Structure 1
Amino acid sequence: MGKGIMLQGTASSVGKSILAVGLCRVFKEDGYDVSPFKSQNMSLNSFITPDGYEIGRAQAMQAEACEKAPSYKMNPILLKPTSDRKSQVIFKGKVHKTLDAVDYYAYKPKLKSEIQSVYDELASESDIVVIEGAGSPAEINLNKDDIVNMGMAQMAKSPVLLIGDIDKGGVFASLAGTMLLLTEEERKRVKGIIINKFRGSIELLEPGLKQLEDIVGVPVLGVIPYFNLDLEEEDSATDLKKMYKTDGEIDVAIIRLPYMSNFTDFNCFKMYKDINVRFVELHEKLENPDLVIIPGTKTTIHDMDALRKTGMDKQIIEAYEKGTHVFGICGGFQMLGQEIMDEDKVETQLDQVQGIGLLSHRTRYKGEKMTTQAEGKDTLFNTPIKGYEIHMGDTLYEEDTEPFMHVKLRNNEEVTIKDGAVGTRVLGTYMHGIFDNGDFTRQYLNTIRQSKGLDPINEIPMDYWVYKEEQYSALAKILRDNMDMEKIYHILEEGINE
């Protein structure tokens, strides 16, 4: 059975996911068979594994750092919010049921043995399992029947490293306060503290580190400097408007849908120096962008209805009529059609909603979700494309519809399937990760450049997944330089005596 080490934090967004990525890569570089694990994740940013299961995007990224294919075993429970009070429960990679918060907390104890079984199977296949917690372990109103923080550490018999974010301020109080609110048994599990996102002189921080160690009785194993690598963030706490360039020659407006999902589709845009990316809220003016992108969404009908009520659909049509290019991904592609029908109430209580109408297709919702990895070639430039599909519903095409791409592989099985649609300056596809394909993206951006009278750019950035590999290795070096890896290996070896 592989050994586990768990990263917990004083709050959400203190860096648990990213530091887990770094530790996964460090252990992998040191020759270990490593796997990530998070028992329960809440995110609209999901990923499809090679065998067609849905997991949190963070665990897929951690798997990449381990140089492993992502698996549902790495994230057995994924909660995808469908409203302020309800979430779709993805269990072992497949849609299980939709529950409100109260019903889910009553249901959680039934999942504990399942989580234990999945974790044990993953650990039996690995030398080391890097386990990520969620939020804070000191949420004393929620700790009964916990399955993701100290409850998970107990199931895995794992030591814990506690992470605090110094960039927010109050890091000593948050670390000491977290330790204060843990039970005596839980405190014994915490074997080290990591302070993340530090800026400034370490010499000025060191007296505080010594005092903190005296107060909590746990050593500080690392102070991680603030860094600017291009690594994916969880969607719940990310300020999207601060993530991208704002001075490019091509103005790209991404519609900020209420339940936008898989915003990581646009991370690769950071590699293109000629584009300006902005996320436009539904109440804002769209202005005159060169390209409008309608992204994926967890609740397509709800968000299409929101576009219509706010008048954003009319703004998109007006921009298109003035020469703007329009691109829809997944739910965004469905919205570009004539209508979306939900007679069986799969998603909402609305029977149907009119689409934007820039493409001729119609979509009918059904209960089964399509989850695949896919490969093929696009019909515009005949470039190789790979990505993944996560969507509900069947799309009905007119006979003369030109597809966006021809899919040749789905979950490693040969197929002959048409995907998406092409219109005049309008494209739609179900393929998440479409812009990660560098050759396609450069050629597509060049068509927009030429429509503006700009010269095409011949340089093709590397495919985004190659670029990410470089970022993982750079992150591992930062952790090696700023953490006591010798002590961390000692903690792993020593484990927890239960």
Structure 2
Amino acid sequence: MIQGAGSNVGKSMIVAGLARALTHRGLSVAPFKPQNMSNNAAVTVDGGEIGRAQALQARAAGRDPVVDMNPVLLKPETDIGAQVVVQGKRLTTCKARDYARLKPRLMPRVLESFHRLAGTADVVLVEGAGSPAEINLRAGDIANMGFAEAAQVPVVLVGDIDRGGVIAQLVGTHAILPPEDRDRIVAFAINKFRGDASLFDDGLAEIATRTGWASLGVLPWFAEAWRLPAEDVMDIASTKGGPIKIAVPRLGRIANFDDLDPLASEPNVSLEIIEPGRPLPGDAALVLIPGSKSTIGDLQDFRAQGWDVDLAAHVRRGGHVLGVCGGYQMLGREIADPDGIEGHPGTHPGLGLLDVATQMHPRKTLSYTEATYLPTGAPVTGYEIHIGSTQGPDCARAWLEVDGRSVGAARPDQRVRGCYLHGLFASDDFRQQFLAELGAPASGYAHDASVEAALDSLAAHIEANMDVDALIAGAAEIRG
């Protein structure tokens, strides 16, 4: 089990790199995260949803993503509440205080998924969440040491030297953990080192002396990390690539933002993330409104930022707009929520840029989808993960076809479009043709090939800098 001395130390990437490295060694590998908190979800082959990081880790291991890889997924809807997804399906929505009482009921489901997954693999790589140093959350824990204890798995603790104070991160964690948890940690590793790693040899020795844990090494900064899908919303960043500017307002509950990854990597595209408090830029070729876990709430915030005025001006200037999933719903005339799924029951005015209306309903659509881009016939592969359905006159100008059905909506001039299909920009032919409509020349960038190459490079990076042999040998010895 890979745990972190803090959040965002690189656990997800290390598990992905180890998964690819061990797969290259001929082992059957499965990733597992007992509890994840993310609105960047992936649809699984068995019809559920898991965290995007576990889907990437499954890809690294050459496996299809399944719900057992992330049995508990928390999807924040407000500052104090989240939707609880268990083994791929929504269980309930609750506040943080109520979730603490729910956790003990979830551990049997977590262990059920873990043991089922373990029966299919030589190695299960488990990723923790946050840090075991959060001892105030230890009672009923299912994400870190509580799970490690219940499943009897050894732990490797990872520290992030880039943020500073890494010796204190690791030695401090050792100091505050109860002895039984401290003893589950068999080794540590340092991540995100910049420069000559040998300069930290004395630091490694100090940590080993003060904790009794073995060192697995120092991982230098992995420069190709930007080529891999990010899970944390804070990892979304603007990129300066080419002359075609795509502006993306950072919604408060932005979801499934992996839609942006292929665009961020395009040589002819500059992707600009618009933070709250900033206007939408007047020189953008496209404004892309992404998915949202709380469409109505984010629509209200969109207006509060004045982005609705900016967007209307962008359209008047002849700019293009694309809404994906929640962004598609926002573009319509109205969003009806008679059951109060996203708050108080009622009907809320949309941005009015598409002649469609959305009605929320509790049933969630989860599916892999193969589509055709109607203007050119290019194949498109993606996934749907949403509540609600959208209808209206602009649906007569659908621009995608799925199983003989026309889907999506567009204005008569085709400058404002929307659809429910996530992941569509990972389809190279479609992406190149869509960008050509904005004036971008073909780049030849191949997204899937780039991700595969980055995973191979990450595996080589870990093999070169981390004692993978010791990690495997130690785990095998402890498991007996």
Contact 2:264 2:270 in 1 (8 A): no
Q: Could you tell me which residue of structure 2 aligns to residue 65 of structure 1?
A: 60
| Percentage of pairs with the same residue | 39
Q: Secondary structure at the match of 2:397?
A: coil
SS in 2 for 1:457: coil
Residue 441 (structure 2) aligns with = 457
1:155 is paired with a residue whose SS is helix
In structure 1, C-alpha distance between the alignment counterparts of 2:16 and 2:57, rounded to whole Å: 5
Aligned to 1:422: 410
Any unmatched runs of 5+ in structure 2?
Answer: none
CA separation in 1, counterparts of 2:140 and 2:155? Answer: 18
- Please say if residues 446 and 457 of structure 1, whose CA atoms lie closer than 8 Å, have aligned partners that are also in contact: yes
2:253 matched to 1:266? no
Per-residue CA shift, 1:196-218, capped at 9, x if unaligned?
00112223211121121111111
Q: CA shift at 1:246, angstroms? A: 2.4
Alignment match, 1:284? 278
Is 1:466 the counterpart of 2:463? The answer is no
Q: Does 1:435 align with 2:425?
A: yes
**SS where residue 454 of structure 2 aligns?**
helix
Q: Does the aligned pair in 1 maintain the 2:341–2:360 contact within 8 Å?
A: yes
In 1, the alpha carbon distance for the partners of 2:463 and 2:180 equals 30
2:165 is the counterpart of 1:181: no
1:64-463 pair list within 5 angstroms = 64-229=59-224, 230-238=227-235, 240=236, 243-246=237-240, 248-288=242-282, 289-398=284-393, 401-408=396-403, 416-423=404-411, 424=413, 425-449=415-439, 457-462=441-446
Is contact 1:282–1:312 with CA below 8 Å preserved after alignment? no
**2:266 and 2:443 in contact (8 A); partners too:** no
CA distance in structure 2 between the partners assigned to 1:287 and 1:197 by the alignment: 34
Determine the structure 1 residue equivalent to 2:476. Answer: 493
Q: Residues of 1 paired with 2:443 and 2:5: CA distance?
A: 44
Give the superposition deviation at 1:397. Answer: 2.6
Q: What residue is the counterpart of 1:9 in the other structure?
A: 4
Inter-CA distance 247–114: structure 2 relative to 1 (3 Å threshold): closer
- Structure 1: distance between partners of 2:275 and 2:197: 40
Measure, in 1, the Cα distance between the counterparts of 2:474 and 2:2. 13
TM-score by length of 1: 0.93
Contact map agreement 1:327 1:428 (CA 8 A) in 2: yes
Residues 174-210 of structure 1: CA distance to partner in whole angstroms, max 9, x if unpaired?
A: 1000111112121221111110001122232111211
Q: Secondary structure at the match of 2:393?
A: coil
CA distance, structure 2, for counterparts of residue 491 and residue 89 of structure 1: 35
Alpha-carbon distance, 1:402 to partner: 1.2
1:247 shift after superposition: 5.2
- Would the aligned equivalents of 2:28 and 2:121 in 1 still touch at CA under 8 Å? yes
Number of residue pairs the alignment of both structures matches: 475
Letter in 2 for 1:272: E
Contact between 1:221 and 1:484, CA under 8 Å: does it hold in 2? yes
Deviations 1:416-473 (A, max 9, x none): 3332112221121111111111111111111111xxxxxx5234321x2232111111
Superposed displacement of residue 134, structure 1:
0.5
The alpha carbon displacement at 1:96 in A equals: 0.9
> Distance in 2 between the 1:91 and 1:101 partners?
16
| 8 Å contact kept, 2:395–2:408 | no
Cα deviation, residue 309, structure 1: 3.0
Aligned AA for 1:283? G
Aligned equivalents of 1:399, 1:164: Cα separation in 2: 52
Give per-residue Cα distances to partners, 1:320-340, cap 9 Å, x unaligned: 110111011000011111111
Q: Which one of 479, 484, 489 corresponds to residue 462 of structure 2?
A: 479
- Residue 350 (structure 1) shift: 4.6
Corresponding residue number in structure 2 for 1:452: none
- Alignment deviations for residues 87-114 of structure 1 (CA, whole Å, 9 cap, x no partner): 0001110111100000000111111111
Equivalents in 2 of 1:467, 1:209: separation in Å?
Answer: 34
Q: What is the one-letter code of the residue matched to 2:410? A: V
Aligned to 1:42: 37
Q: Distance in 2 between matches of 1:211 and 1:182?
A: 18
Preserved contact between residue 406 and residue 419 of structure 1 (Cα < 8 Å): yes
Residue deviations 1:331-362 (CA, integer Å, cap 9, x gap) = 00111111110011111215111111121111
Determine the C-alpha separation between the residues in 2 that align with 1:144 and 1:400. 51
CA RMSD of aligned residues (A): 1.4
- In the alignment, residue 235 of structure 1 is paired with which amino acid? D
Report the TM-score when normalising by structure 2.
Answer: 0.96
SS at match of 1:495: helix
Offset of residue 244 of structure 1:
3.6
Name the amino acid aligned to 2:16: V
Any idea what SS the aligned residue of 2:223 has? coil
State the one-letter code of the partner of 2:53. Answer: A
Structure-2 change in CA distance of 1:417 and 1:52 (3 Å): farther
